Amino acid sequence: MNWRALATASLVLGLVFTTAGPAEAQKMRLAKGCGSTASSTYAYCVGAAKAINLLAPDLDVSVVETGGAVDNMKRMQRGTLDYGQVTPEQVYLGWKGMENWKDTPFPDIRVMWMYSASASYVIVREETGIKSLQEIAGKKFNPGMRGSGTEKMTETVLGDLGIKAEWQRMGTSDAVDAMKDKRIVGYAKMGNGFALDASTMDIATQTPIRVLPFTEEAMTKSKAAHPYIPWIKVPVGAVKGLGEFWTTAIIVGFSAPKSFPTDTVYKIVKAVSEGIEHQKAAFKGTTDDIPKLTAEVSQSPLHAGAIKYLREKGVKIPDHLIPPEAK
């Protein structure tokens, strides 16, 4: 689907043109899918939209609340989003048509940029007495916001370790309430870099929590089964009461279909790369160097517009990230 069809489809979301002057009327209206408003990543989306709207004045980006990476990709497939927040492993799976994308492959998805590498924590209420990942088995646990990359990754990794909980599907706000109301023993949630995110800190104000670390043995076992899932070593002191430990990583960025105009993607990637201060003000976990991080952590092809900007900046792009249309 081309960008004109996407723009028409976005009217479903209520993104209609308003009465404005000639310059305003010429703006390209874009719908950007994000996650839950209760998540720290939503604040990043707002900061990134500010950078784009300021530095690419012919674009007008609106942030749309969604269910996260998987939901955003499905909406892009349907043409109801222009581009959306994603995680590289879900983009890779969609591109390859693997696992949860086996029946609905997305070979035309392309990476725009990556902006953050954050720890994904398994968190339980301290009063449950749970001190190890194995003790989650059979208990009511939220693996991450419904439809998100966190949800899929948590289930996959715990499955690699033979751990099957009684999964509770819900959004971030509902999971926070369920933790406070003691309806679930815990949940998985992306941090803000290595710091616990806002929703987790909110829970901690009402009930003591515990972060469950993965051992190196557990990390190695899961990585052997699913090598595309990223891991990160949490430094000493990053989580109160814990030394250095392994946990899964959530690398977050944005993707669009390859049909999204090259020049538009170029303008967007240039704006977010050169307007870092607006993003850092909203999300402290934002990298200092978006082009470098994008080239280093992406696992599937970049959009031609992103490649154009990265090449201008002298960033070396691995061959496997360059799709046929950009060669």
Its CATH architecture, for the domain 3-116+252-326, is 3-Layer(aba) Sandwich (3.40)
**CA gap 231, 249 in Å, rounded:** 5
Report phi then psi at 211, rounded to 5. -95, 130
The sign of the dihedral angle between the CA atoms of 69, 306, 193, 55 is negative
pLDDT band at 5 (very low <50, low <70, confident <90, very high): very low
Task: Name the pTM for this structure.
Answer: 0.72
Long-range contacts of residues 239-247, Cβ cutoff 8 Å, at least 24 apart: 239/121, 239/194, 239/196, 239/211, 242/211, 242/213, 245/213, 245/214, 245/215, 246/213, 246/214, 246/215, 246/216, 246/218, 246/219, 247/119, 247/120, 247/121, 247/122, 247/213, 247/214
Q: Are strands 140-142 and 231-234 parallel, antiparallel or unpaired?
A: unpaired
Quick one: pLDDT at residue 228?
86
Fold of 118-249: D-Maltodextrin-Binding Protein; domain 2 (3.40.190)
List, by residue range, all CATH 3.40.190.10 domains of the chain.
3-116+252-326, 118-249
**CA gap 201, 127 in Å, rounded:** 16
Q: pLDDT per residue over 68-98, tens digit each?
A: 889 999 999 999 999 999 989 899 999 999 9
Q: pLDDT per residue over 100-151, tens digit each?
A: 899 999 999 999 999 998 899 999 999 999 999 999 999 999 999 988 878 9
Quick one: pLDDT at residue 24?
53
**Position 91: which residue type?**
V
Quick one: pLDDT at residue 148?
83
For residue 191, give the nearest of 253, 142, 249, 246 by alpha carbon. Answer: 249
